[in-house]
Structure 1
Amino acid sequence: MKQFWRRWTYEVPLAIGDALWEVLVVQLAALLDRLTVRKAIAFIPVIILIAAYYHSIPIPPELMLIGDFLAYIDIFSVLFLLGVLSRITTIMFVVKQAAARIAVLAGSVTARMQRLDIRHGRQRSTPTRPRRKPSASEDDRAYGSVWGEVAFA
């Protein structure tokens, strides 16, 4: 009788506790390790259908639409990503063209600055050379006084 009592008060509760620990802790942790957000979202329509059949209530069309959306979330996510990528590609194209135009503009500005030659200007402190008067031709020498008076009169 002592063996029987020990078995049902000590060994059986320990075996039940070990089994519960295995199922509720160890296997649940393994399940949660394998569970992803995608799998959890894909399981929501199943829960909605089970709840609707269990309670024998009609499912509103909104819940059916949400269930369909969640069932096809992979397709919707791919379409969404393609839309985002096409916008990013367009933005990158515009940025690339703007950068090319800025580079051309900068190149033309530097070329014009070199043509102006601002760096090699004449120093203001140096005296200017006196200009030579052009030599008078033979005709000007003969009629120099006449032409000079007429020109300045």
Structure 2
Amino acid sequence: MKSWWRKWSYEIPLAIGDALWEVLVVQFAALLDRLTVRKVIALIPVAIIVLADYHRIPIPPELMLVGDFLAYIDIFSVLFLVGVLSRVTTILFIVKQAAACIARLGGSAVAHVQRRDMRHRRQRGTATRRHRKPDRSEDDRAFGGVWDQAALA
């Protein structure tokens, strides 16, 4: 008798609670994970037709057109995405060209800065060092710089 009481007062309600948890929470969450917007939109025309048939309500043509639009939502969404992608590719092309222009300007600026080395630049107006002339040979000294005069003439 005690085991019967324990089974019906404790184990069976727990088993029912576990089964309800499994169905209403776990499996419902799994269903919602698999459910997409596309599937929900595809069910709307079916629901309209079922409700109209169940209540014997004539369906107006506008509602049928909405149902057709929802049935062909894949085609409309592909056309919409192609339109958006063409704009995206144009924007990406412009961004790529702007990045190349910035890289080119940055490279030329770096090369320009490297050419103008400010650390070793001489100030204007300062006297420069005189360069030594090479020593004159014995022939030049012997004839009094005749060879220099001949070169100038």
Could you tell me the TM-score, scaled by structure 1's length? Answer: 0.53
How far does residue 128 in structure 1 lie from its aligned partner after superposition? 3.0
Q: Which runs of 5+ in 2 are unaligned?
A: 1-11, 131-153
Return the alpha-carbon distance in structure 1 between the equivalents of residues 69 and 128 of structure 2.
90
Residue 23 of structure 2 corresponds to which residue in structure 1? 26
| Equivalent in the alignment of 2:52 | 52
SS at match of 2:120: coil
Structure-1 separation of matches of 2:29 and 2:23 = 10
Percent of aligned pairs with the same residue?
A: 61
Matched residue, 1:145: none
- How far apart, CA to CA, are the structure 2 residues paired with 1:75 and 1:119? 67
Please name the residue that 1:120 is paired with: 120
Residues paired across the two proteins, number: 111
The 1-side partners of 2:60 and 2:26 are apart by 35
Can you list the C-alpha shifts for 1:37-91, whole angstroms capped at 9, x where unaligned? 2222211101111222333333233322221122122222223233322222221
Q: 1:113 to 1:30 in 2, by over 3 A?
A: closer
> 1:62: which partner in 2?
62
Q: In 2, Cα distance between the equivalents of 1:67 and 1:32?
A: 28
1:30 is displaced (CA, Å) by 4.2
| Aligned-pair Cα RMSD in Å | 3.6
The TM-score with structure 2 as length reference comes to: 0.53
